[in-house]
Amino acid sequence: VHLVESGGGLVQPGTSLRLSCAASGFTFDEYAMHWVRQAPGKGLEWVSGLSWNGDYLDYADSVKGRFTISRDNPKNSLYLQLNSLGPEDTAFYYCARGGPTITDYSTLDVWGQGTTVTVSS
């Protein structure tokens, strides 16, 4: 079971970025998927989650209206579109697998290595 994030980088405030997460080793469309971030010197912060079929999604208040989560099940891929980025979004972004049922929807049992997003002028 493997998750590999990509798409991070150094960007200016106000700009956009799209993160990707490639999944392998499990039946992707049977699991919820999430994004979690860790700002420098801070703890883990759940960012967004998406159900197995894409019907249900949610966001942390800190990113609601700016970030969009999506998935392409045939491509075994998860995405996070980050718009209107600010310095407060500077963080290490992890892709994580949730559970296959509603009771363990946000129990994160597999994590990717992460990708760094730095927002600075």
Partner 1 sequence: DIQMTQSPSSLSASVGDRVAITCRASQTIITSLNWYQHKAGKVPKLLISGASRLQSGVPSRFSGGGSETDFTLTISSLQPDDIATYYCQQSYGLPATFGQGTKVEIK
Which spans of this chain sit near partner 1 (rule: CB under 8 A)?
34, 36, 43-46, 49, 58-61, 94, 96, 103-109, 111-114
Can you tell me the distance from the alpha carbon of 69 to that of 58, in angstroms, rounded to the nearest whole number? 8
| Helix, coil or strand: residue 28 | helix
Residue 102's CB: how many other CB atoms inside 10 A?
10
Nearest approach, Cβ of 56 to partner 1 (angstroms)?
9
Residue 43 or 74 with smaller CB distance to partner 1 = 43
Nearest approach, Cβ of 57 to partner 1 (angstroms)?
9
- The DSSP call for residue 31 is S
Nearest approach, Cβ of 29 to partner 1 (angstroms)?
20
Residue 69's CB: how many other CB atoms inside 10 A?
21
Residue 29 or 58 with smaller CB distance to partner 1 = 58
Nearest approach, Cβ of 68 to partner 1 (angstroms)?
16
Residue 96 or 119 with smaller CB distance to partner 1 = 96
Does residue 93 contact residue 81 with C-beta atoms inside 8 Å? no
Residue 23 or 96 with smaller CB distance to partner 1 = 96
- The DSSP call for residue 75 is G
Residue 84's CB: how many other CB atoms inside 10 A?
13
